[in-house]
Structure 1
Amino acid sequence: MSSSTPRATNLTLEELDALRARARREAGPFVDPDVQRRFRVHNGEWATEVLGGPYGGPHALTWPELYLLHLAVQAEPTPPPPPRATAARLARELEEAPARRAAAEEAARQEEEWRDLVATLQAAGVRVEVRHNYTSHRHLEFYTQGGDHVYLLDPLHVGRLHRDARVALCHTPSNAPNLEYLEPTQDNRLPSCRTCLRHMRSAARRLTS
């Protein structure tokens, strides 16, 4: 092994040889249940280096091997990060970085668009806020389903679009039963209802044209 190759342990080869010799000496023919009960390893790469061969998990170990790893944990309570797993994680993060940047840029674009739309309608005397649709029956303890709507605090009349105050922008007489319980949100979320957003963009264009 090259001296520049990252290792999963800081124990030297001499220290490892000494631990292996001690394990052969001390393990004996009978399993110590206390050692077996407290057995742990830092990670698979570390265990492989200590054993000098593949680590297949605790159930694949002989008693002397288990005892050796027990001694090694005491000799090295804080080993370095496992090099192969660390390299794989860094490579994965590097591969995923463009997607994360794109998602962040898209989120920023949507936030900016929302602020502009709100300001345009407010300049025309129409205040809005985001409200969540709790009419859906699929709101369980750990699961919710329902859109986040643009809720009008003032009436809106732009072109052929006419909405009263205190309704969602996507409100129509036919879908009114599906929008019965719209609750204010407290986390600065953006609306997710595509119909609301489509109407809001159309109204904003007319108001600024």
Structure 2
Amino acid sequence: MGSTPRATNLTPEELEELRARAAREAGPFVNPAIVGTARAHNPEWAAEILGRPVGARRSTWPELYLIHLAVLAEPTPPPPPKETAARAAREAQEEKRRRAAAEEHARQVEAWRELEAALLKAGARVEVRHNYTSHRHLETYTQGGDHVVLLEPFHFGRLHREAGVSLCCTPSNAHNVEILEPIPDGRLPSCQACLRIARSVARRVS
């Protein structure tokens, strides 16, 4: 099993030497030039250099001088291990989410293609259109579903629809689906009523 990654490549012996040097050289008076420029590479690196967690209290002048010496001794430390591991975990989680979303989208596309083929077998040519009937279509807000719209009249058992209307259109809800516009972005139908009717047709022709 490998050793735990460290935030510095300085050896424990080198760190002890730097700490001893800082204790000897810092002196009682603060050097403003060093105080103004002493910057730790990152919190994990600083914690290893100082031998204590950082952030709990302000660094003393000897500690700032130690940081100054350590930066000179190690201008390019390794990536901070905890931060790097956390970032890798976040990226892996995001990649997993993207993969799952892509797989789910592919599943939905395949399901819709099968429904579309079943509708065509039943005599219905369809396309997906967005419902713009509602006036609530603003730059940052859109109301209205994506419906399965018939390109030709469709009569299937007791189901009768004219061309240009959605599968879910009935005399009682026709006023809610009056403006159905084509959408060229390849989106899938989201109207659950249209999908229920499409699935019912598909079951009867299968």
Q: TM-score, normalized by length of structure 1?
A: 0.69
Pair member with larger Rg: 2
1:201 to partner: Cα distance: 0.5
Q: Which whole-Å CA distance do the structure 1 matches of 2:112 and 2:120 have between them?
A: 12
Flag the 1:83–1:171 CA change in 2: closer, same or farther, 3 A: same
1:82 to partner: Cα distance: 2.0
Q: Which whole-Å CA distance do the structure 2 matches of 1:139 and 1:68 have between them?
A: 61
1:190 to partner: Cα distance: 2.0
How large is the RMSD of aligned CA atoms in angstroms? Answer: 4.0
Query: Which structure 2 residues correspond to residues 67-78 of structure 1 after superposition, within 5 A?
Result: 68-69=66-67, 75-77=74-76
Query: Which structure 2 residues correspond to residues 155-194 of structure 1 after superposition, within 5 A?
Result: 155-194=153-192
Post-superposition CA distance 1:47-70 (Å, at most 9, x none):
32233211228x844455456556
Amino acid across the alignment from 1:167: V
Match of 1:109 among 107, 122, 139: 107
Q: Which residue of 2 aligns with 1:122?
A: 120
Q: Which whole-Å CA distance do the structure 2 matches of 1:16 and 1:138 have between them?
A: 65
Gaps of at least 5 residues in structure 2 are none
Secondary structure at the counterpart of residue 132 of structure 1: strand
Secondary structure at the counterpart of residue 131 of structure 1: strand
Secondary structure at the counterpart of residue 162 of structure 1: strand
Secondary structure at the counterpart of residue 201 of structure 2: helix
Q: Which whole-Å CA distance do the structure 2 matches of 1:60 and 1:67 have between them?
A: 13
Flag the 1:90–1:182 CA change in 2: closer, same or farther, 3 A: same
Assess if the C-alpha contact under 8 Å between 1:7 and 1:82 holds in 2: yes
Matched, 1:205 2:203: yes
Q: Which residue of 2 aligns with 1:47?
A: 46
Flag the 1:123–1:47 CA change in 2: closer, same or farther, 3 A: farther
Query: Which structure 2 residues correspond to residues 17-28 of structure 1 after superposition, within 5 A?
Result: 17=16, 20=19, 25=25
Q: Which whole-Å CA distance do the structure 2 matches of 1:68 and 1:175 have between them?
A: 76
Q: TM-score, normalized by length of structure 2?
A: 0.70
Q: Which whole-Å CA distance do the structure 1 matches of 2:13 and 2:169 have between them?
A: 76
Question: How many residues align structurally?
Answer: 201
Query: Which structure 2 residues correspond to residues 57-72 of structure 1 after superposition, within 5 A?
Result: 60-62=58-60, 65=63, 68-69=66-67
